[in-house]
Amino acid sequence: MPHVTGEQIVFYLLGGGAVLSAASMLLPPLGRNPIHSAISLIVSLFFLAGLYALLSAHMLSVLQIIVYAGAVMVLFTFVIMLLNLGPDELQDTRITPGRVAAGILALFIFGKLTTAIQLTTAGAQGVDLSDPSYAKFGTVPEVGRMMYTTFLVPFELISVLLLVAAVGAVVLAKRSLKYVDQVQQTPAAKEFPPADEDGDAHDAHAHGGGH
């Protein structure tokens, strides 16, 4: 029986937790509610941060929690709440041909990725992170140097992608503001016009009522 180290046990626990929490984002019962799916994604990001810590990439582990599980997920949750999805839209769990095709395509892509990873890692040897030559691995200066030299173009492209995502979030959130126009068009809203900063409209309405 092969010897199992404590690091391997922690790896399997973190990896299994990441996979299960990621699957719960799509599968019922948590997958039926977008807020519950977002919470499952946050849990998955925490498990991934633990995996980064096992690889001695402590900076990436901290950034995973602060940036993704923190700031980005707050933005996602805010957009989901702005969409104002009703119960009828959340309870649609019918199996349609489009969903079946999407599931088959997802399984196909997953199989291709698994095959590609197996082929590229065949014969690869593990790295001893305790070696002094890897002392700078995962440190802030080393990550910053690679980010602004080797990976400068991908880093800038990600910033543009985040900008496009922010604009898309605003466009999606606009549909939840339709009720504002409906309220303004009601007779009760027209009877009381909005007041300006000095309250002139309110005073004019009061004087009109006095006459």
Instruction: Give the residue extent of every domain in the chain.
Output: 1-93, 151-211
**Amino acid residing at 194:** P
- Give 52-90 as a DSSP string: HHHTT-HHHHHHIIIIIIIIIHHHHHHHHHHH---HHHH
Collect all residues with Cβ–Cβ distance below 8 Å to 191 and sequence separation of at least 6: none
pLDDT for position 177: 52
| Consecutive 10-residue averages of pLDDT for the chain (211 residues) | 78 90 79 80 91 85 87 81 68 73 88 88 73 73 85 89 82 60 56 52 49 48
pLDDT for position 136: 75
Q: What's the CA gap between 56 and 129, in Å, rounded?
A: 8
pTM score, two decimals? 0.59
Q: What's the CA gap between 51 and 49, in Å, rounded?
A: 5
Residue indicated by tokens 């940036």? 67
pLDDT for position 13: 93
Please tell us whether the domain made up of 1-93 is placed in CATH 1.20.120.1200: yes
Q: What is the DSSP letter of 32?
A: G
pLDDT for position 49: 92
